[in-house]
Copies of this chain bind each other. A is one copy, B any other.
């Protein structure tokens, strides 16, 4: 199996985890968490979203968060922007990178953003234009790249077409997102292999939700296809802004489980695992999440050996 030597980790908790969180998390708490995440060694943090405050009220303090966080020199601070208005706010807030959203599924995009595909792609063009002459990088995040809760499986060619369109528009990188967490490893390999066949030099990442429990298997499949950049969220918190009723469990891959797997496999990341696990433990405690990841349940080699060393039930 082809595997990379190292991988880039993008922490999504402050944006994807908090956008649907039922209570408003005070700005100071967000800032403290982002500052703690900045010390874990993750390469990039999607720290907020410059979305209309009525659409995502939980992140209405995006500008203030951007102002108050302490920027670590090794961390790329990225924000989601759904349109040019968001992009203008992001530029004012001095972000390093924006995640400009394109949704592949027409049904999901119309519910979520009220735009046609062409309108969505025109926003990408305008966002790339706004970034020109600044240091700000543009990533296109492609929602529902594999499966839509309304349309079902997304035909590969539709996603590939949008990948080509955003690369032609001049984005710096592309990230395919599962959104509903319903991709399977065979689909991931087929899609990513074709993306790299058509765009061998493109910077392509993956954003995996874990509704079907396959996100680590999909990570392995994607690495085999050539991907070495992964979004993930501490404690697995994450989910779309508008989802079919009752479907609450669309969390991301827990960052601590992802890094644990890569570490066991000998794939290098810049993350200090113990520090990351500490932050995850604090988040789980503060938000009363129980044990939302395998790593927090004690499922790492170091923890198993330590437990066995200290106590046995024989």
A interface residues (Cβ-Cβ under 8 A, vs B) = 1, 3, 111, 147, 149-150, 152-153, 180-182, 184-187, 189, 210-214, 216-217, 219-221, 224, 242-247, 249, 254, 257, 260-261, 264-266, 293-295, 297-301, 304-305, 307-309, 311-314
Residues of B near A264 (CB, < 8 A) are: 184, 186-187, 212, 214
| Interchain nearest-CB distance for A201 vs B (Å) | 23
Known: A189-B1, A212-B300, A244-B311. A152 touches B217 (CB 8 A): no
Most interface-central of A149, A242, A266 (chain B CB within 10 A): A149
Q: Are A304 and B247 in contact (CB under 8 A)?
A: yes
Bound Cα distance A300, B180 (Å): 10
Bound Cα distance A221, B223 (Å): 12
Known: A150-B308, A213-B299. A184 touches B261 (CB 8 A): yes
Q: Are B1 and A153 in contact (CB under 8 A)?
A: no
Tell which of B216, B219, B245, B307 touches A244, judged by Cβ atoms closer than 8 Å: B307
Bound Cα distance A291, B125 (Å): 44
- Which B residue's beta carbon lies closest to that of A147? B301
Bound Cα distance A301, B153 (Å): 9
Known: A244-B313, A307-B149. A301 touches B1 (CB 8 A): no
Tell which of B185, B221, B246, B309 touches A311, judged by Cβ atoms closer than 8 Å: B246
| Interchain nearest-CB distance for A5 vs B (Å) | 12
Residues of B near A111 (CB, < 8 A) are: 312, 314
Q: Are B304 and A245 in contact (CB under 8 A)?
A: no
Q: Are B152 and A301 in contact (CB under 8 A)?
A: yes
Residues of B near A265 (CB, < 8 A) are: 184-187
